[in-house]
Structure 1
């Protein structure tokens, strides 16, 4: 009879150890990164969303992860990596993004 409670405690301890390793260490957002949080509407129907846990989505079709590194907005998608220059204006309500590879530039307005 005493074996069952001991067995349950052992199973719970193992579960806690296994599950505690599941959470990825995500560094806190810098002040610069916090400026991106939220939803942004761009030219035509382009919509971008940046989330605090560093996930992002584009046009409801693409999703990935983002960070600011060496003054660039880096977005990792399943299809590849985007390296973007950016400049905020209008009290951070507009961000102008330029893709290095293609030269595409667009203004995105905070929603």
Structure 2
């Protein structure tokens, strides 16, 4: 009886340890979503004021706006960029039309709520050898 209790306790401990990481989101980006990954910069005043001079899209599906506003992003079947981000303690959803040009080095975003158009350029990292 005591042995059965120990085995049951160990099994419960093992299951709880294995399941402890299940609340973390580990999402694989689609090929279209992977086009966004990287750092994008703008010198456009309106884009800078609304979204920030730098957007950073990460391979884990997160995005940073205005240097400190962090959210998540996805591309839906209609090829709209959907950004989820906190605003005043609530999770908000923002919808953008998007277009990549010049071999995926220019990103144009049009915010559906206002119709404003933003243009960002992929920041290239040059490595000297």
State the TM-score, normalized to the length of structure 1.
Answer: 0.81
Tell me the CA shift for residue 67 of structure 1. 0.2
How far apart, CA to CA, are the structure 1 residues paired with 2:59 and 2:101?
21
1:59, CA displacement in angstroms? Answer: 1.4
Distance 1:24 1:86 in 2: 25
Residue from 67, 73, 82 that aligns with 1:74: 82
Query: 2:25, 2:85 → 1: CA distance?
Result: 18
- Shift in Å, 1:58: 0.6
Q: Please report the RMSD computed on the Cα atoms of aligned residues, expressed in angstroms.
A: 2.1
Aligned to 2:113: 101
The aligned residue for residue 41 of structure 2 is 41
Residue number in structure 1 paired with 2:25: 24
TM-superposed deviation, 1:82: 1.0
Aligned residue for 1:65?
A: 72
TM-aligned CA deviation for residue 12 of structure 1:
5.3
- Give the Cα separation in 2 of the matches to 1:39 and 1:86: 16
- TM-superposed CA distance for 1:89, in Å, is 0.6
Residue 65 (structure 2) pairs with residue 53 (structure 1): no
- Cα distance in 1 for partners of 2:111, 2:102 equals 21
What is the CA distance between 1:103 and its match in structure 2? 1.1
Gaps of 5+ in 1: none
Q: 2:99 is matched with which residue: 87, 90, 94? A: 87
Deviates more, 1:82-91 or 1:16-25: 16-25
Gaps of 5+ in 2: 124-129
Partner of 1:87, secondary structure, is strand
